[in-house]
Amino acid sequence: MNNYKKHILQLKGNEIANGKISFSFLQEIIGQLTRLAESALLSYIEGNSRIKRKKGKTPNWLLKSIDFHLTDIKEGPTILDIEAPLLSENIDSVQISGFQEFKLEEISALDLSFFAYMQAFENQKESNLLDKNLLKEIINLNKILDSEDAKIIFISNGKKIEVTKNTLAEIKILEEKTPPSSKAKITGKLDTLQHSKSQLEIKTAGKKIRAKLSEKIQFNDITKLLGADVSLSGIANFNPAGEIASFEISAIRKADVGDDYFRTIPPAVFKDFDLKRIIKKNKYKGSNLDNLLGKWPSDETIDELLEMTKK
């Protein structure tokens, strides 16, 4: 089918007979790949990978984009032949922001998923695609790997991408360092993206931030503010570098002099999971970590805090 793209998924090292796969394990594979593809597409289209259901409904374009077909199961080891819809079949190019550059007629949601995996594995912290939730969905591929030797090999356009427990462990470190989404306030110029009437961007502190309206704000409500300096409240979504990758607007008004402070892009909050990882890695024992988290940053450096955990 011309509107579908063929992919191959090889499963090596799992406790399965060549050419055979149980219904339960197949269901696990389908579930993990579908959730990863859904999150990757949401990040690509909307700037935030978190899956949100509007009154329990999934957008039609999203449902069709992740409607994959299993066409064959082969031996040597177990090989799954999969067909996935090309993104151009269900996504209008005007939906895509200028922050991502792909040819929709050449890629599927599975391509996008494993592209995100490679960005995470290569530690591309400034990626506009990766956020904390998408990294967690990538790490969840561990549920398909039931041994240290197990591998998932994704083949598309003749290119192989390998997923192992070791590569996912590296991505886990990146995920722990990535700030979660948090409430923030920004002052800047609001405008629509080029070639789009629904995608927004905020220009502030010499940078452009992708933005979208929350469900309680309609586009017609903000048209008079386009091109003007505005004060925005909402949820900031961060990439692994701690930079705001996107912003969900929950309140908007025309800016005044008192809002100039918020022209500086707010930094990410302190990442307590990163401190936990350092303590575990360096085998600090008998720590009072729970007493420290939430009280730092203060005057102590990280080294001073780690010394305190030894006591």
Q: Per-domain residue ranges for the chain?
A: 4-177, 182-263, 272-310
Q: How confident is the model at residue 154 (pLDDT cuts 50, 70, 90)?
A: very high
Q: Give CA 173 to chain center in angstroms.
A: 15
According to the model, what pLDDT value does residue 181 have? Answer: 92
pLDDT above 50 for 193: yes
pLDDT confidence of residue 239: 94
Rg of the chain in Å (alpha carbons): 22
In terms of DSSP bridges, do strands 229-238 and 182-192 run parallel, antiparallel, or are they unpaired?
antiparallel
Distances (CA, A) of 3 to 64, 65, 101: 12, 11, 20
3-state secondary structure 217-251: CCHHHCHHHCCCEEEEEEEEEECCCCCEEEEEEEE
Mean pLDDT of 154-169: 96
**pLDDT number for residue 152:** 95
- Listed range (9-18, 148-157, 211-220, 228-237) with the worst mean pLDDT: 9-18
- Over residues 141-163, the mean pLDDT reads 93
Choice between 42 and 193, residue whose per-residue pLDDT is larger: 42
At 307, is the secondary structure helix, strand, or coil? helix
Q: Which two tokens stand for residue 179?
A: 């700030």
Name the nearest CA neighbour of 82 among 117, 116, 34. Answer: 34
40 or 286: whose pLDDT is higher?
40
Residue 173 is inside which H or E element, if any? helix 165-177
Any idea which of 7-16, 187-196, 213-222, 234-243 has the lowest mean pLDDT? 187-196
The stretch 38-42 carries a mean pLDDT of 94
**Residue owning tokens 């696990």:** 28
pTM more than 0.85: no
| Tokens matching residue 15 | 């406790």
Residue 295, pLDDT score: 52
Mean pLDDT (whole number) for 146-174:
94
For the domain 182-263, what is the CATH code? 2.40.50.110
pLDDT of amino acid 94: 47
> Using CA atoms, how far apart are residues 194 and 205, in angstroms rounded to an integer?
20
Q: Judge whether residue 125 has pLDDT over 90.
A: yes
Q: What integer best gives the mean pLDDT of the chain?
A: 82
Percent of the chain residues past pLDDT 90, beyond the cut:
46
Task: Specify whether the CB–CB gap between 172 and 139 falls below 8 A.
Answer: yes
CA distance 81 to 68: 10
The two tokens of residue 34 are: 């579908």
| Per-residue model confidence as pLDDT tens digits over 89-113 | 988 754 555 545 678 888 999 999 9
Q: Rounded mean pLDDT of 25-30?
A: 93
Q: Is the pLDDT of residue 299 over 70?
A: no
Amino acid, single-letter form, for residue 35: R
Q: Which residue has the higher pLDDT, 220 or 306?
A: 220
Q: Is 268 helix (H, G, I), strand (E, B) or coil?
A: coil
27 or 21: which leads in pLDDT: 27
The predicted pLDDT at position 304 comes to 61
> Which residue, among 100, 97, 59, 67, has the nearest Cα to 84 in the 3D structure?
67
Position with higher pLDDT, 180 vs 301: 180
Of 99-113, 119-133, 296-310, the range with the highest mean pLDDT is 119-133
Question: What is the reported pLDDT for 310?
Answer: 56
Between 294 and 116, the higher pLDDT residue: 116
